[in-house]
Structure 1
């Protein structure tokens, strides 16, 4: 595949962002008659060019990863690399948050009256809260839950209640936990790719990764071949698809919203569940643990049930449809049973949340703008590297080669794209998807395994995150 196609895809993505920004500014003008409720549309933010304590550190971290990341990713032992990648991800996320300052960007971010922490002091009886949770979802009643609590199942609120009960109350601790759990994505996604690559290579020795599949297609087509995995990322030795994914996960632009939003925590929990499910296709007890985490994920956010598609892709790739999948379902159903027995029925909560949604912003924000402007938010959270990687994924899969549909990176990305499309078309996420879709967006990271010239792409990822965080002030 030629780089020209990548540049075209990125250019089109930038045009989409530009049009969304321009249209947002036009619709936000006084007297337009259209309500976007997003001053820096399409992002849920305000325009505020600024620098802060984290600016220098964020630039230095980005420079270090771009300069030395590809080499280290090829030489370090796998376990060591996972630890280093996680540490870099935490540092990167924290530095981005600190661009807005300690209070505004970190410690006070989750103390907003619309956030979960606002309700924590009033929850003194957890069983009673669960039994009466649905009755307080609808708006315009004296005891209505605050915006984020009402918009999610009780599991999300319980996380912060539990933190408070063990002595980790307040905004700073809540933000710290969101960052630490959210950054588990940097471990979970590469571990998933590695585990599934082993399963695929054992079943089909010729299948050794997304880059090799793409290369084979290009050779058949007579085009300039994509280099093998090690060459594709700067010719570093041993840079397998999983190692390439980890490198890009550590410098993920979506870290702007991982630090700090509860959706970052949701991404970390569910990505860990999917990683355990991938490992569980060979070690069955881990499939139960994966199912437990994914089941709990459905009680963190209603929309996370869409991750079932990615879970199915994982069990298909790991050849665990008849063994690992039933065990994972058993784990997930145990969570459902626990919440139901405690008095909260998921479907009741979901229907009431949809009603609450249309009591407020959904009745004003126009679907015709957000259905495509949401994708501009996705571009900014995913970064240009993943735009190019998704293009390459589509180019390979559309050639209808059965071998490609057994490749872990390709299939995971395809499942993530379908999940995002379904979420977008539903109309239940008008704006704010840069954070809401984090649990889906992180599964586009395997597309990075197809990219050549990693340093340029890594630099593009860093520039995207730095530009967003310095030009706008995000609400959460």
Structure 2
């Protein structure tokens, strides 16, 4: 690449490194005849091409959005932009899922290993909380199924709530999850505007909508957790920049709730600190901590102690398939799997992001905090495979990095994001 400018060479080299990592994660297990305990490394998926008539609307919608969203992002009023971002994300996620018809949303929620099966068997919520830890181990005669056992009870309570509202059909459960999850884009845009500028937020909009994360949005509980976390951080940013106890307490309530949705979301503390550092204000901290402690007090009074459950969960985790997934592969295989959710466009943007972060660019700084969070989660050994869903609450802060690249690159890179999502959705049968 001697004829390319330095910026272009850096972007190409970074993208090539990401591609090499993905290829290695796919080839090495087969070459070494190593069973890494997923069917299609590095994703928890199966090779199952499903290209039919319903693929055509998804292709058309994806390409249309890639062309139209940058224009909308520049020209419509801010409130219209937020509504358009939510609507476009919802339409894109649904278009991808519906390439398989209604089964594209329903299939996941029909599985016994998912939350819905256990949620529909919950009678007394108080009894559920009091006995929750006892039912985590495999040895328990009434042990929770995989996903319920692997999360605090907040995740189960969310699906219990849906069930109590009378939404029991797996497809409509999926629609509810998609709708909630898609609001995360609005929260991230609001945060970028609050901490940075409206221009920065507008530039990020198409990348947030068309990120390959759309394949997993709405068919996993983690996508819903992503929305809760994103709104918690958005409220924290508002409290830090504009003041006020109400948004700070709201941030604490939401971020405190995240800890009861997934054990790994305790790492949101890194992003929360980043928000306060960028805003240069610690004023919201006491109010936010107070809000979080209210959540802890209520759940603990209900009968569930997080600190007692986590060690039991670790035992269940290593009693299961995790003990058969080699850390030596997954410590880097996780990043290869994660690459499917962000695309090589994000890898290409890493050098530009590093330069922008040093200049105080808010998008780059938040993405840096999210990448640090992902690194910590990866090195913990508690995330071996399946990170395409597990890392979603952190990944959403990274996917807009290509906005920092030269504008003439945007259209082809946006189309590459659409193509990756379509290929993943139609060639692979993802488990989530």
- TM-score class, shorter-chain normalisation, is over 0.9
1:392 correspondence with 2:348: no
Match of 2:161? 162
Q: Provide Cα deviations, 1:15-45, integer angstroms capped at 9, x if missing partner.
A: 1111111123345xxxx4x432211110000
Q: TM-score, normalised by structure 1?
A: 0.86
Which of 362, 379, 399 is the equivalent residue of 1:445? 399
Q: How far apart, CA to CA, are the structure 2 residues paired with 1:446 and 1:324?
A: 27
Give secondary structure in 2 for the equivalent of 1:458.
helix
Q: TM-score, normalised by structure 2?
A: 0.94
Q: How far apart, CA to CA, are the structure 2 residues paired with 1:53 and 1:353?
A: 44
Matches within 5 A, 1:126-205: 126-197=125-196
Q: Provide Cα deviations, 1:271-293, integer angstroms capped at 9, x if missing partner.
A: 11111111122142112111111
Q: Is the 8 A contact 1:52 1:98 kept in 2?
A: no
Give secondary structure in 2 for the equivalent of 1:240.
helix
Greater displacement, 425-434 / 443-452? 443-452
Q: How far apart, CA to CA, are the structure 2 residues paired with 1:154 and 1:387?
A: 35
1:433 correspondence with 2:394: no
Which of 259, 276, 279 is the equivalent residue of 2:238? 279
Q: How far apart, CA to CA, are the structure 2 residues paired with 1:314 and 1:100?
A: 39
Matches within 5 A, 1:18-417: 18-26=23-31, 32=33, 34-52=34-52, 54-103=54-103, 105-197=104-196, 240-281=199-240, 282-284=242-244, 285-321=246-282, 323-397=283-357, 401=358, 404=359, 406-417=360-371
Give secondary structure in 2 for the equivalent of 1:184.
helix
Q: Is the 8 A contact 2:11 2:350 kept in 1?
A: no
Q: How far apart, CA to CA, are the structure 2 residues paired with 1:123 and 1:96?
A: 32
Displaced runs of 4 or more, over 3 A: 24-27
Distance 1:393 1:21, change over 3 A: same
Unaligned regions of 5+ residues in structure 2, if any? Answer: 1-5
Q: How far apart, CA to CA, are the structure 2 residues paired with 1:468 and 1:160?
A: 27
CA drift at 1:446: 4.2
Q: How far apart, CA to CA, are the structure 1 residues paired with 2:70 and 2:39?
A: 38
Paired residues in the alignment total: 423
Q: CA RMSD in A?
A: 1.5
Q: How far apart, CA to CA, are the structure 2 residues paired with 1:314 and 1:140?
A: 42
CA drift at 1:62: 1.5
1:455 correspondence with 2:408: no
Unaligned regions of 5+ residues in structure 1, if any? Answer: 199-238
Match of 2:13? 8
CA drift at 1:448: 3.0
Give secondary structure in 1 for the equivalent of 2:223.
helix
Q: How far apart, CA to CA, are the structure 2 residues paired with 1:346 and 1:80?
A: 41
Q: How far apart, CA to CA, are the structure 2 residues paired with 1:39 and 1:462?
A: 24
Q: Provide Cα deviations, 1:432-473, integer angstroms capped at 9, x if missing partner.
A: 001110011111134233122321221111111111111110
CA drift at 1:53: 5.4
Give secondary structure in 2 for the equivalent of 1:87.
helix
Q: Is the 8 A contact 2:257 2:295 kept in 1?
A: yes
